[in-house]
């Protein structure tokens, strides 16, 4: 099977983003966004999803980080959609946790990180929907504006046309919460994009398209 790779460039008056995402491993990453904390989170996503990821991005962070974080999310979602193509053969829902003897059901990942436990579920349905139930605590010294993760994942879900649910079950430390979410997103997505050899030529939908 040819390795699935999507590459997108997004250049505006506010940001410049070039991103490549490979779905078939091995895990390799080179990430430079000028936001060290986001670099770390994207590296975790690639490592735990077994993805190839290259990101080169910069933007008007002298104003704030919003434009850059959101545009990286948009570009990641577009690259994912590009890499998936017509989605023939994919599992679609993924299974970080199997349900039933055939492993069918909503793809999901329960990911612990010390005191934190998060839940990620997704469906590569072609119908974008996003639900983010995560609360971060107020920090005296913030290395990153954590509420921007809501905007980041919404941008990913909308541009990839993905049904994405992210929920925090418990957690105290903002870094651990973010890390749990990115690891869980990588794990759930890896299962969803995996190719089922029994259905290699089929689109996983009764509609015939996703």
Asked whether residue 209 is domain-assigned, the answer is: no
Q: Are 19 and 7 in contact (CB under 8 A)?
A: yes
Asked whether residue 61 is domain-assigned, the answer is: yes
Span of 12-16, 36-40, 109-113 with lowest mean pLDDT: 109-113
Q: Which residues pair with 29 in a beta bridge?
A: 53
Asked whether residue 94 is domain-assigned, the answer is: yes
pTM of the complete model:
0.91
For 10, the enclosing helix (H) or strand (E) is strand 5-11
Asked whether residue 207 is domain-assigned, the answer is: no
Asked whether residue 82 is domain-assigned, the answer is: yes
Range of the domain at 163: 5-199
The per-residue pLDDT for range 158-179, each reduced to its tens digit, is 999 999 999 999 999 999 999 9
Strands (E), 39-142: 52-59, 107-113, 116-123, 129-133
Q: Which residues pair with 28 in a beta bridge?
A: 52
CATH of the domain at 24: 3.30.230.40
89-119 in b/e burial notation, b at 16+ Cβ within 10 A?
bbbbbbbbbeeeeeeeebbbbbbebeebbbb
Into how many domains does the chain fold?
1
Asked whether residue 204 is domain-assigned, the answer is: no
Residue 95: pLDDT over 60: no
């Amino acid at each position: 099977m040819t390795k699935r790779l999507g590459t997108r460039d997004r250049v505006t008056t506010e940001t410049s983003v070039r991103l490549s995402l490979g779905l078939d491993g091995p895990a390799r990453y080179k990430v430079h966004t000028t936001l060290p904390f986001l670099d770390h989170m994207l590296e975790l996503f690639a490592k735990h999803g077994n993805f190839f990821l290259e990101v080169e991005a910069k933007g008007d962070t002298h104003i704030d980080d919003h434009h850059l974080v959101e545009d990286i999310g948009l570009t990641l979602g577009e690259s994912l959609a590009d890499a998936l193509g017509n989605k023939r053969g994919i599992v679609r829902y993924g299974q970080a946790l199997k349900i039933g003897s055939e492993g069918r059901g909503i793809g999901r990942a329960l990911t612990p990180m010390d005191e934190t436990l998060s839940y990620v579920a997704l469906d590569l349905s072609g119908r974008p929907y996003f639900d983010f139930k995560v609360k971060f605590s107020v920090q005296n010294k913030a290395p990153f504006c954590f509420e921007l993760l809501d905007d980041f994942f919404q941008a990913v879900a909308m541009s990839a046309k993905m049904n994405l649910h992210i929920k925090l079950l418990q957690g105290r430390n903002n870094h651990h919460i973010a890390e749990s979410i990115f690891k869980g997103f990588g794990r759930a997505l890896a299962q969803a994009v995996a190719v089922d050899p029994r259905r290699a030529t089929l689109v996983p939908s009764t509609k015939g398209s996703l």
